[in-house]
């Protein structure tokens, strides 16, 4: 698939909802999932503790792979404290397409690109896939399946689709930015994009096709 088709596919999939909080409406991008990475630096846990036989958590490599693949508008990356099963750490939890995929014994930096390869394959297929051989022995199921229901979350109030919300999103960090008060903007393909900070503007202008939305 060409870069232009890939960018078009990613852009067309973007969707926002309005979420009311603190007496304001915010535009929130809807994502396919979230990768939670357990790290001792983010809270009391075993992950990343060399004295407990764990490798240090390479925050920079996780962030670099996430940014390099430009999947911020599909998957969020979170560094967190204890995720639970310390005996098999270092751990990570991938929530994607409504499924929870647990990853254990991530004590080799070569596994980090492999995790993102797996994520990208599923984002492209738009469904959960069997782990490829590089990760197969690191994947396990921790949660019990739902019993007696379909496992769907029932919201107290319906979320509101926000067809116009993309116009207000910083295309790099996906924050809601008011065009009327935004201090930073950039023109690309006949459209004005607004940014929350100069760093986002610089990232966009280095590769606008990767961030531009339909």
Q: For residues 16, 21, 24 and 26, what is the CA-based torsion angle, rounded to 10 degrees?
A: -20
pTM above 0.85, yes or no: no
Considering the domain delimited by 33-140, tell me its CATH architecture.
3-Layer(aba) Sandwich (3.40)
Produce one character per residue of 88-110: b if its CB has 16 or more CB atoms within 10 Å, e if not.
Answer: bbbbbbbbbeeeebbbbbbbeee
Distance between CA atoms of 187 and 101, rounded to whole angstroms?
40
Contacts of 94 (CB under 8 A, 6+ apart): 33, 34, 35, 36, 100, 101, 102, 103, 115, 119
**Helices of type H across the chain:** 3-12, 59-68, 111-125, 133-136, 198-206, 208-211
CA distances for 113 relative to 64, 67, 118, 187, angstroms: 10, 12, 9, 33
Q: Say what the pLDDT of residue 18 is.
A: 85
Considering the chain, tell me which residue range(s) the CATH 3.40.30 domain(s) occupy. Answer: 33-140
Task: Report d(CA 43, CA 108) in Å as an integer.
Answer: 21
Give the residue among 4, 211, 33 at the shortest CA–CA distance from 118.
33
Give me the tens of pLDDT residue by residue for the chain, a chain 214 residues long.
444 444 434 444 678 888 888 998 888 888 999 999 999 888 867 899 888 889 999 999 999 999 999 998 899 999 999 998 888 989 999 999 989 999 999 999 999 999 999 999 999 999 999 998 989 999 998 988 776 655 555 544 445 555 556 677 888 887 788 888 889 999 998 889 999 889 889 989 998 888 875 4
How close are the terminal C-alpha atoms of the chain, in Å? 18
What was the pLDDT predicted at 214?
Answer: 43
């Amino acid at each position: 698939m060409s870069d232009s088709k890939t960018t078009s596919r990613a852009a067309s999939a973007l969707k926002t909802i309005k979420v009311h909080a603190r007496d304001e409406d915010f535009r929130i991008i809807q994502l396919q999932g979230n990768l939670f990475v357990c790290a001792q630096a983010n809270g009391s846990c075993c992950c990343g503790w060399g004295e407990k036989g764990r490798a240090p958590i390479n925050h920079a490599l996780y962030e670099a792979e996430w940014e390099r693949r430009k999947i911020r508008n599909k998957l969020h990356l979170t560094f967190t404290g204890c995720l639970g099963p310390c005996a098999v750490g270092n751990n990570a939890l991938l929530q994607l397409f409504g499924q929870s995929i647990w990853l254990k014994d991530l004590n080799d930096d070569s596994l980090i690109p492999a995790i993102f390869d797996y994520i990208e394959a599923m984002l492209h297929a738009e469904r959960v896939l069997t782990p490829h051989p590089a990760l197969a022995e690191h994947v396990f199921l921790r949660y019990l399946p739902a019993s007696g229901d379909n496992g769907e979350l029932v919201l107290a109030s319906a979320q509101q689709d926000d067809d116009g919300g993309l116009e207000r999103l910083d295309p790099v960090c996906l924050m809601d930015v008011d065009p009327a008060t935004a201090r930073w903007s950039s023109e690309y393909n006949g459209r004005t994009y607004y940014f929350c900070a100069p760093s986002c503007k610089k990232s966009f202008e280095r590769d606008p096709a990767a961030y531009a939305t339909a």
